[in-house]
Structure 1
Amino acid sequence: MSLYIDTLIEQKIDHPNKLLMPREIRDYLLNYLPREIFCSSSLKTDEPRSYKLKKNIALNHEHIQPNHENKRCFLIIDCDENEPDAYLDLPVPFPNIVVINPETGHYQVWYFLRNGVSWTRFSKGKIKDYYSSTLFKLKAIFNGDNAYIGFLARNPFHDKHICLYPRLEPYTLDEINNSIGVSRLDYQEDNPYKSDAFLLIRDYIKKNKTNSKEPEQGFGRNCTIFKVLRHKACRTWSEYRTEMDFAFYLLSEAQKINQDHFPDNCLEYNELKHIANSIARYFFNSPRSRKYSSSFIEKQKKRGAAGGKSRSGQFDIARQKCFDLYMQNPSLKVAEIAKECGVSERTIRNYLKSIKKQKTLLEGVVYCSTDTNKQLANQLLCSVRTIQRKRKLAKIEAKKAIEHALVQGG
């Protein structure tokens, strides 16, 4: 370790109670750490165990859970190779905390997020991916442990650790990305002046055989394999007839992904098998993903038609009352008819549109029909007086049309 860190260790030994945490850092940690968190003091032993305790008790342990399962307020990178003060020379913003293990020299870098990132199933995927890609960039620049998922981190409050506090204010994801300085120009092949951050990320990718553009960056082994495998499954699942055949195919692909992404720390075979079976089960059993058969489509059509008829039948009385009121007095306002029928004005407007269409058809039927006025009134569900008036108007219109034709014919 550097002379600077060695000096801090000596100061901690000589003055164990003098290295106080800044008030801003302490307040942020106490406010944004979960109320009940997993903690452990036996991770480096032969029998590691973790417990879920209340915050005031859990902070006495060596390792704690930094992020809530439904919200991410911290970006944490686990570093085993560089010096703890390497951030001074790297193209990254100053971290909020550097938690150092004085026995080994290993350390973890903490970045605080001002508003945090929601991590529920209702959260936006783009924001989650933005968080994950930002975490991966920082991990690549610091040359951190790619298999570290951030479930448990070194406790800044524990007496065993030494902490540095380069910055007191929390960041936003935009501020961190702007400070890193990777731009679109770095991805142009003919650009000889690529940023230092981009070069470090590229070397880290080659070393770990991963692709920074894929959304799984920043996740652990299980999530990474699951995310890569499910995209392959979307493209190929329709080629398989049974769920078992598809699961065997996914298992072979999962083994390839496991070797490519984690050659030095492969996931166990049973874990890969469970991931493959889970994805295969979803595609063959979920109605959202399987191709619907013709019989299923017909069944859905019948169900939809039956549901529409039953719902429409509930308003037959209102529809008939609207028809009667309009036929008796066509000058009535829509609001008055809606109040009498007990439905909305928009519903009445729809009813009136259909009534006017029937009215247009009625005029042709009345003039051409040989039935009596009473028979037509029963057929068309209107009064005899209405039929008489329509027949009279139809005769007048026909007479005008004949006279106009004679005049035109000369």
Structure 2
Amino acid sequence: MSNVALKLFNDRLPHKPYFTDELQCGLRIAGKERAILAKYIQFNQPHAQFWLCFDVDRPGAGIDWSDRNAPAPTLTIMNKTNGHAHLLYALKTAVRTAPDGKIKPLKYAAAVESALREKLGADVGYSGLICKNPNHDNWQIAVWQPELYTLDWLADSLDLNSANDKTILPDYGLGRNCTLFDKTRKWAYRAIRQGWPKYEQWLNACYERASAYNINFISPLDDNEVMGISKSIAKWTHNKFNTDSFDDFVSRTHTSEIQSLRGKKSKGGGRPSIKNPWIDMGISRATFFRWRKKNGCNN
């Protein structure tokens, strides 16, 4: 194996990776110096994804990517006995999965990952947490592409009609981060209005809701990632959503002029939405009329 590729792999390891020698015995965590001796190791950092890794469970997995017209992996780590392999693609710039990461580039990365998984015929049940350790002599290693990939470069070889929310696999890889963020965010926008809780109470509620969504994944995200997503949503909604800001939002988006336009647009398409404005606002009928009463809107 190229010393440059091996150094890149080792330099990008977490400071305290998960590792194991036997998958059936579970994972342990230790400093990099200890973990790097194991057969399997965590290869991406907790909130920065430097590698896209795919688990291909068929003979010849280390070489048949070329028959599928897939981009060349940075390196392949193959089981010498059965020919199954992990295919790793090194990214020039890490994908941020931390709370300060933006959802749009995360969704783009998830779309690239999903399309590449499909082209490779890789296992959809792969958790993406650990891979075969290229430092261990149990595996056969090959380096194919020495240059670091950008997402755009990978996308050039893929059909990114799958770069939309409906076709990104919600249970796979980065798709889990997108799915968990979207589901929890949409729940939070409504739930915070039920009593306007204090921050710590609200953070716990967001974490419990995100955890409930997470356990439904085939391969759930690590708890630290769930907490990171929860904190991001809890902090933003708690800062942006309160009784005053919500009343301001309602008054700005539901003036008589805007409601009139909405009513005109709905004509010919069934019952006008102006008759049920609380549906457009995502609030209950009772909340809508309490707001009207408070602001003296009696017409």
Sort the TM-score into its range (normalised by shorter chain).
Answer: 0.5 to 0.7
C-alpha deviations, 1:177-224, integer Å up to 9, x for none? 1122x25xxx5xxxxxxxxxx7xx99xxxxxxx932588853376x46
Give the superposition deviation at 1:287. 4.8
Q: Secondary structure at the match of 1:286?
A: helix
Give the superposition deviation at 1:81. 4.0
**Which residue identity lines up with residue 6 of structure 2 in the other structure?**
R
Question: Using the alignment, how far apart are the partners of 1:117 and 1:161 within structure 2?
Answer: 27
Q: Name the counterpart of 2:259.
A: none
Contact kept in structure 1, 2:103 and 2:178, CA below 8 Å: no
**Which residue identity lines up with residue 49 of structure 2 in the other structure?**
R
Q: Name the counterpart of 1:178.
A: 156
Give the superposition deviation at 1:166. 2.0
Percent pairwise identity: 21
Q: Secondary structure at the match of 2:90?
A: strand
Q: Name the counterpart of 2:87.
A: 109
C-alpha deviations, 1:368-393, integer Å up to 9, x for none? xxxxxxxxxxxxxxxxxxxxxxxxxx
Give the superposition deviation at 1:175. 0.8
Contact kept in structure 2, 1:40 and 1:49, CA below 8 Å: yes
Q: Name the counterpart of 1:9.
A: none
Question: Using the alignment, how far apart are the partners of 1:294 and 1:51 within structure 2?
Answer: 45
Q: Secondary structure at the match of 2:17?
A: strand
Determine which structure has greater relative contact order: mean sequence separation of CA pairs < 8 Å that are 6+ residues apart, divided by chain length: 2
Structure 1's unaligned 5+ residue stretches are: 1-20, 188-197, 203-209, 296-410
The alignment status of 1:155 with 2:133, answered yes or no, reads: yes
Q: Name the counterpart of 1:218.
A: 173
Question: Using the alignment, how far apart are the partners of 2:47 and 2:196 within structure 1?
Answer: 36
The alignment status of 1:291 with 2:231, answered yes or no, reads: no
C-alpha deviations, 1:321-377, integer Å up to 9, x for none? xxxxxxxxxxxxxxxxxxxxxxxxxxxxxxxxxxxxxxxxxxxxxxxxxxxxxxxxx
The alignment status of 1:25 with 2:25, answered yes or no, reads: no
Question: Using the alignment, how far apart are the partners of 2:114 and 2:45 within structure 1?
Answer: 19
Contact kept in structure 2, 1:61 and 1:155, CA below 8 Å: yes
Q: Name the counterpart of 1:18.
A: none
Residues 82 and 220 (structure 1), Cα distance of their counterparts in 2 relative to 1, 3 Å cut: farther
Question: Using the alignment, how far apart are the partners of 1:174 and 1:61 within structure 2?
Answer: 34
Contact kept in structure 1, 2:134 and 2:141, CA below 8 Å: yes
The alignment status of 1:146 with 2:110, answered yes or no, reads: no
Q: Name the counterpart of 1:62.
A: 39
Question: Using the alignment, how far apart are the partners of 1:51 and 1:124 within structure 2?
Answer: 29
Question: Using the alignment, how far apart are the partners of 2:69 and 2:52 within structure 1?
Answer: 16
Counterparts of residues 97-136 of structure 1 (less than 5 Å): 97-136=75-114
Give the superposition deviation at 1:236. 4.5
**Which residue identity lines up with residue 289 of structure 1 in the other structure?**
F
Residues 232 and 71 (structure 1), Cα distance of their counterparts in 2 relative to 1, 3 Å cut: closer
Aligned residue pair count? 231
Give the superposition deviation at 1:112. 0.9
Contact kept in structure 2, 1:117 and 1:128, CA below 8 Å: yes
Residues 49 and 116 (structure 1), Cα distance of their counterparts in 2 relative to 1, 3 Å cut: closer
Question: Using the alignment, how far apart are the partners of 2:10 and 2:219 within structure 1?
Answer: 36
Give the superposition deviation at 1:76. 0.5
Structure 2's unaligned 5+ residue stretches are: 198-204, 248-299
C-alpha deviations, 1:243-283, integer Å up to 9, x for none? 9xxx8xx97xx67x977xx5xx487xxx9xx99xx79x959
Q: Name the counterpart of 2:144.
A: 166
Question: Using the alignment, how far apart are the partners of 2:53 and 2:95 within structure 1?
Answer: 14
Match of residue 17, structure 2, among 28, 37, 46: 37
Give the superposition deviation at 1:235. 6.0
Residues 140 and 293 (structure 1), Cα distance of their counterparts in 2 relative to 1, 3 Å cut: closer
**Which residue identity lines up with residue 41 of structure 2 in the other structure?**
I
State TM-score, norm by structure 2. 0.61
| Greater fraction helix | 1
Contact kept in structure 2, 1:82 and 1:142, CA below 8 Å: no
Give the superposition deviation at 1:164. 2.3
Q: Secondary structure at the match of 2:54?
A: strand
- Coordinate RMSD, CA, aligned: 4.2
Q: Name the counterpart of 2:184.
A: 230
Structure with higher Rg: it is: 1
Question: Using the alignment, how far apart are the partners of 2:15 and 2:39 within structure 1?
Answer: 17
State TM-score, norm by structure 1. 0.46
